[in-house]
Structure 1
Amino acid sequence: MVTTYKNQQSCERGFRFLKDPLFFADSFFVKKTERIETMLFLMSFCLLVYNLGQRELRNSLKRAKAGVKNQVSKLTSRPTMRWIFQCF
């Protein structure tokens, strides 16, 4: 039961991504059920691509034994994709 509760964090992180102002989720206005379902699918797909990109980035940094400077200029091997996007 404790393990299930602790794994909830990864799901919550996904919702935080979907609610992020950089994702522009609050600027869509749809009324039809089909369009709402389509938007939900697209947002879920974007979340999947985002998580896969972050996973690949972290694995590549780990294999190369490299890192990226974070917000406080400290070297990290586990950056978020949001931080990487903001760097460019």
Structure 2
Amino acid sequence: MYTISHPHISDTRLSIITQQLYLVTLQHNLTLAMFHLVYNQYQRLIIHLFHNTLFYSLISNSTNNPLSSTIIYHHRNLLFQHPLPLILL
């Protein structure tokens, strides 16, 4: 950064800037870690729901129940419309 390499910045100020940069970087890394944790859990949930949807599709097709097919279709559309958890939006 230009401000850090500037010759007129005192050692104290440089130390404070460095500490602030470290804290921001640390917070950023923790935020990223939390995001990946939530996102990975959500991905597993999507896979689980997708398998359940396939399973219920087979059941609804075998019983020829139009109501079941409609519910499954609506559920699948909602899943595609909201690919990320609301907490991350």
TM-score bin, normalised by smaller chain? 0.3 to 0.5
Q: Which has the larger radius of gyration?
A: 2
| Larger helix fraction of residues | 2
- Which structure would you say has the larger RCO, counting Cα contacts within 8 Å and 6 or more residues apart? 2
TM-score by length of 2: 0.41
